[in-house]
Structure 1
């Protein structure tokens, strides 16, 4: 009978909603006192941890992710007080150099893994100078604006994340939360805080921080996400700076304006390739004329121009 199968003590891995009521109900069914406990150390705590690991492994087999990924997401949900593990996570970072070429990067982790097809880049349009808070606010506003346009698709910008992580502290969370509120979306929002050696230290929330060092699986996942979004954002920033530098080189050549510079870069892709192109190849590039091609050729081959002048 059920009475014979209910033990006097049931060990849980975390407090349960309505735990006292559940204990009373089991006591009535069993005909003897049934305690629900959440041990913090000792053999029972080890057993609870083993049961949680076994459950995570079984769930991983069912939903197609590894045990480590499942355990990390489960631990992260507990740490942040989420109702369920965040299957779809978006993370954001801002990158600039002395306020120039402000950009934002967005990376997506689905089931604990990078989903690179969903990564997005943002050129900051409304912020002049170095203002990470305002830049982050713009990026999140534009992202939510894209959701309102694409929500019927359920993919890419048409899907809302289960969790948003910002590369930054409480200040970043404080300026972005009103953006979410104004859009009428309820998405858990946290910041990823670095120490003075640029390593992940804590999770920031409105009003405080959550230490994560003791939660190894969640710590590893958050560190990976923070490193990835930083890499993606700074990579975009560097590519823009490089393109601007290349464009400046071409614009310094007589007869080359923005349209011809853009055409040359589209045709040859690099300054090195342009410098090695012959006169005919340059002249055959769209938007180019023979005099413009001669100017470009002479710029990269000054010795030829000198010989011609002599």
Structure 2
């Protein structure tokens, strides 16, 4: 496809997604964090709330009690009618343990599948956690369906955790992980572009903000095909009087659960790039995205040297 036609298709596709998506996404601060019934715990319970769907209407509580996990599998706010809690078991491969469940089936709304909560400790003070689940949204409208990537029957793989604090000591303090909300791109590995840094890695993920310390949820790196690849268009800050400078880069590789990247990226050399703000636009071929996008833009600081602690998660 000619570049101009590809770009026009990408722009029209993103405009369609914006029209279908809530402008600011769900207001997670307004989500009621109460549990109707709780079991008699053996130890001190710790809480986290998952919310599913564009408006975060389906709520599924997770409560860890020692080495067992209570999961509100039918999303009715009652943790006493879901069968026995999930045991923490050794993973079939790797050095972590995990809680596994084939299906979360709410009383209303689609089922969510392949729930996996990993737990590990490599010498840290506290255990770490990483969550994955395949989400299945309610059937979209014909207009929205025409603008979306055709998702396989197993659903859309999403991740949460790995960074931040997953658990809270009470329901009122619990973080909310939002699955199936509108997404936005986020730069990974480096928060800034550094002039004269040499070849670097241009990495992007797509995330839905959460509420609390647990952080966002992230779209899995196998959901979007790398052929044809997404393109990143960067408008660089240049010295006064210099011609405009725009570069494009293909995100033709993926790894590490949620990362799409280009391993041969380099900040333009000797072309008048100066410190300032670069405007980064992620361009998506039509029909290549499974969920609404809140935005496809990222503003990235361009610096002469990398500041301390500039890595992005």
Q: Give the number of the structure whose residues are more often helix, by fraction.
A: 1
Q: TM-score, normalised on structure 1?
A: 0.24
Query: Which structure has the larger Rg over C-alpha atoms?
Result: 1
Give the TM-score taking structure 2 as reference length: 0.24
Query: Which protein has the bigger strand share?
Result: 2
